[in-house]
Structure 1
Amino acid sequence: MRVALNARILQAPRTGIGQYVVALTEALRKQAGLDLELFLGTAWGADLPSEPLPGYSRRTSLAKRVPGAYRIRRWLEQSSFDRGLKHRQVDLYHEPTLWPLEFDGPMVMTLHDLTHVHYPQTQPADRLAEIERHVGRAVERAQSVLTDSEHVAGEVRRHFGLSEDRVIVAPLGCAARFHPRPYQALERTLSGLGLVAGQYLICVGTLEPRKNLELALQAHALLSASVRKGLPLVIVGMPGWRTEQLDDTLKTALAEGCVRMLGYQSDAVLAELIAGARVLLFPSLYEGFGLPVLEAMASGVPVVLTRTSSLPEVAGEAGVYVDAQDPQGMSVAIQRLMEDETLRQRCRTLGLERAKAFSWQRCARITSDVYRKVLGG
């Protein structure tokens, strides 16, 4: 069985879907009787790229100013995809994003979430138009649709009117680099960032409205001045806000060192940043899965999170839940985890145990079973 997997997303710095493509590819290659062909956007290849395309962010920024840029890029990618198919005997095509390329054969797609439905304001207008132009027809074309969680599976079935058996849940896994680490082992990396292990809170994720970062910022601001100075809030993710756009409260917190915005970090550094955190805050309004929650639990770090969308499926009883509109509640939860060692150890123990239930091997096994079912095997 030979499967073409669209890995074009790896041209960009790796965020959620990029991590999915990398980890799934590595796990699928351990499945017997399965060969993967990777389409990388401009060419085909056997190897996963170790770095994003040089200058990707600058090119993307320039493309946003070109009318019809998304359609032009899609035409170029389709042409490259078609040329490569002429030299490959591909049985099935797997698309991990919202807009599959044209393929004259069986197709499986992964819908990680329905952000474009629930939060269309977070998408550039031209990108949203392309999603709406392609995603409905793509779902109709797909023999099976994979999702990361039961929550999204239910949304997909209802929104697109799909039968139960066409939507399959393949929960994500956690990379081996996320595990408990002695604080002294983190000293070199953290000191270079001006941090001390166990003495900061962390938020991880691309900075956009649905991530609800304001909740974490407001909750942190409600802590006493001495606590805020001794326990800064560290924000890690692709830049979404510029300093001049921040309100006066946050500007003051940044100036005082109470909030640190570290931007995008490499996989290795991120794993150490999470392992060294006192608590992970995950204030999101909507998630298809919530990988940082799983990564924190696997690292032995307690999580304060909102009880929204798929997040309870991931954290289970290991998380400390708060309302997505309640900064006071999140602030109290932080304070409890700082002061109540019994609660902290309970969250740590339950989180480590909970994380064992998720693996990329399981995700790959479910995915390859879907491939075989689609191909009649």
Structure 2
Amino acid sequence: MTIAIDARDICASDGSRGAGIGHYTWSITRAMAALGSHRLVVAVPAAFSKRDEKELTGCGRVRVIRLPAMRARFLSRHAFLPSRIALEGVDVLFCPSGEIPLFWRGKAVIAVHDLSVYEHPEWFPDGDRGNWSRRTVFPKSVRAASAVIAVSEDTKRSVARMFPDAERKTTVVYEGGELPEGFVRIEGGEDLVLSIGTVEPRKNYATSASAFDRYLRRRPERARTTRYFIVGSIGWKAEETLVAVEAVNAAWREVAGENVVQLLGYVTDQEKWSLLSRASALLIPSWHEGFGLTALEAMAASVPVIASTGGALPEVVGDAGILVAPDDHEAMSLALAQCLLLPDGTKELVEEGKRRAAAFTWERAARETLNVLEKCCS
């Protein structure tokens, strides 16, 4: 069987490995290639790195097609790509981004990550392309897809609510969360609370900053040795978060000698794992997550996880973390105190987290994804 993968979002514009859907696309493509059970035709943007291309093609049954950079984005995504991969004798097209090119006429399977944009559009930017995709391309893709892969049961329920006819063809395939080779946990040093993700309303960092402030007010002597790092680019509608962060920093700057809450911006994958290696806790305050990959990665890295009850987070974290309501500042603050002041008390959570994370692998995700693709062609 020949499977085409629409991997247009596999990397950032500079060729570096992307976050979010980009990370998912790279991880699932690499895992499927490593299995070697089917021929893969992977359509990538022109910026895709030669190093990563070599890693994919080194698996043996992979052909990488570079899509030329085109000013006419619509033609590139919806006309050129399907006409190009059709030349490869493809049996089925896999679309990790959830969108099938409008002019594709063969079988297709889409992955759906999160439908918050329909249920809470106020969390998202109001750009023209987003509206076009939301109103037209994605709904058409759900209807046209031979099968739908949801990354969590929560996302599957969202698909059923928004597109009832698609429920019967939707299968849950969890993502993977594996440690990079050579990862080493670093104990000791200052207390470090870490949050990972673009600064935008859905991430709810204004609440987590407030919770961190409450923690410091309980233990002001810790202000010199405790920091809260928020890792991620400044996104859309970030004003509330920026104001909240500055308010906390203004309150503690004189005591701490620097900002206690620091916005680090975008970091590389290697830098992310370096931060996780010395984090005292990962805090995920989100209003909603379609999966919660950072929770899985933190559990694998032996980092205690504090996660909100938003979306799929309870499904991913289970009993291996501390769950709090996303609007409960006090509960979030007490959870921070538990992780930072009583680290011995979180040892059971950490051990359970490692066991839980071990069940979520990209190899398993690849096998289950291939099962869905095979059924479409049987």
Q: How many angstroms apart in 2 are the aligned matches of 1:31 and 1:24? A: 11
Q: How many angstroms apart in 2 are the aligned matches of 1:164 and 1:246? A: 41
Query: Is 1:274–1:296's contact at 8 Å kept on the other side of the alignment?
Result: yes
1:271-301 deviation per Cα after TM superposition (whole angstroms, max 9, x unaligned): 1111210000000111110111000000000
CA 1:354–1:109 in structure 2 vs 1: closer, same or farther (change >3 Å)? same
Q: How many angstroms apart in 1 are the aligned matches of 2:48 and 2:242? A: 41
Q: Which residue does the alignment assign to 1:76?
A: 76
Q: Which runs of 5+ in 2 are unaligned?
A: 55-69
**CA apart distance, 1:307:** 1.3
Q: Which residue does the alignment assign to 1:222?
A: 214
Q: Which amino acid aligns with 1:249?
A: A
Percent identity of paired positions between Structure 1 and Structure 2? 29
Q: How many angstroms apart in 2 are the aligned matches of 1:163 and 1:87? A: 29
1:156 correspondence with 2:145: no
1:313-333 deviation per Cα after TM superposition (whole angstroms, max 9, x unaligned): 111101111111111111111
**CA apart distance, 1:257:** 2.2
Q: How many angstroms apart in 1 are the aligned matches of 2:270 and 2:91? A: 35
1:136 correspondence with 2:128: no
Question: Per the alignment, in what secondary structure is the counterpart of residue 207 of structure 1?
Answer: coil
Deviates more, 1:290-299 or 1:247-256: 247-256
Q: Which amino acid aligns with 1:10?
A: I
Q: How many angstroms apart in 1 are the aligned matches of 2:242 and 2:358? A: 41
RMSD between aligned residues: 2.7
Q: How many angstroms apart in 1 are the aligned matches of 2:176 and 2:324? A: 24
Alignment of 1:1-377 (within 5 A): 1-12=1-12, 14-41=18-45, 48=52, 72-85=72-85, 87-101=87-101, 102-121=103-122, 122-131=124-133, 132-162=135-165, 164-177=167-180, 181-183=184-186, 197=189, 199-224=191-216, 225-240=220-235, 241=238, 246-247=243-244, 248-252=246-250, 256-376=258-378
**CA apart distance, 1:43:** 9.2
Deviates more, 1:3-12 or 1:305-314: 3-12
Q: Normalization by structure 2: what TM-score?
A: 0.84
Q: Which amino acid aligns with 1:238?
A: S
1:237-261 deviation per Cα after TM superposition (whole angstroms, max 9, x unaligned): 1222479953540452695320111
Query: Is 1:179–1:299's contact at 8 Å kept on the other side of the alignment?
Result: no
Q: How many angstroms apart in 2 are the aligned matches of 1:238 and 1:348? A: 28
Q: How many angstroms apart in 1 are the aligned matches of 2:251 and 2:264? A: 14
Q: Normalization by structure 1: what TM-score?
A: 0.84
Q: Which runs of 5+ in 1 are unaligned?
A: 51-69, 185-195
How many residues end up aligned between the 2 structures? 346
Question: Per the alignment, in what secondary structure is the counterpart of residue 162 of structure 1?
Answer: helix
